[in-house]
Amino acid sequence: MTKADLVDHVTALGDLTRRDGEVIVETLFESVIEALRANDKVEVRGFGSFRSRQRKPRTGRNPKTGESVAVPAKRVPFFKPSKELRDLVNPPGAGEKALHGKSVVDPHHPPAM
């Protein structure tokens, strides 16, 4: 879904003009961005929370030349979905794929221990 699709969806929900829908979506995004810039947490119950996380400085590598590059410390946005959202996206039993009566474990996402 793109930003334009989201505007269309918001506009279709009520008796709104496209411009009204754009203002609503832009205001929401700007509010989240300003809160993250101020190092505040944005929590939407039933959806999830946005916050910024601090990354430490590290040494990276230029993939083209193989040369070491210093990567400075920085803050990055982070989204943590709520339990309700995770359950809606992954209904119970959806993570198991039956193969001859046995469940198969995804090697990229092993089960929590």
pLDDT at 99: 45
pLDDT tens digits for range 25-79: 999 999 999 999 999 999 999 999 999 999 999 999 999 999 999 999 999 999 9
Percent of the chain whose pLDDT exceeds 90: 77
Domain 3-87 class?
few secondary structures
At 75, which helix (H) or strand (E)?
A: strand 74-81
More confident residue, 101 or 37: 37
pLDDT at 15: 86
Is 107 a residue whose pLDDT tops 80?
no
**Hey, where are the domains in the chain?**
3-87
By three-state DSSP, how is residue 12 classified? helix
Sole residue written with tokens 């993570």:
95
pLDDT at 97: 54
